Amino acid sequence: MSRICLVMDFKVEPGTKARFLETIREHAVQTLASEEGCLRFEVCDPLEGGGRVFLYEMYVGEAAPETHKASLILARTRERYADVIESRDIHVCKIL
């Protein structure tokens, strides 16, 4: 079965990074615990600092990311961080 990864690049409002990191780490733990198709969920804080945070998520099968996208966990998390996000880029990749 294929593996799909999501690579996400968030830019957060100045002074909100700690709050965002707490929220997104909680989200990663919940996702890994509750979504069978999620194999990895890494929260990455770039060494060069700034207001960026990267996520690396790996799923089994092409349906698993769609299941995650429709999850109540994700909807609640997005509500919690909506006011701190400046921008978000999502890249969906097939692992070869």
Query: Domain spans of the chain?
Result: 3-94
Secondary structure of residue 77 in the 3-state scheme: helix
Question: Tens digit of pLDDT for each residue in 30-65?
Answer: 999 999 999 999 999 999 978 999 999 999 999 999
Does the pTM surpass 0.85? The reply is yes
Q: Distances from the Cα of 68 to the Cαs of 10, 16, 31, in angstroms?
A: 18, 25, 8
Give the residue ranges of DSSP H helices in 1-96.
17-34, 64-69, 72-81
CATH class of 3-94: alpha beta
Q: What is the pLDDT of residue 94?
A: 95
Q: What percent of the chain has pLDDT over 70?
A: 100
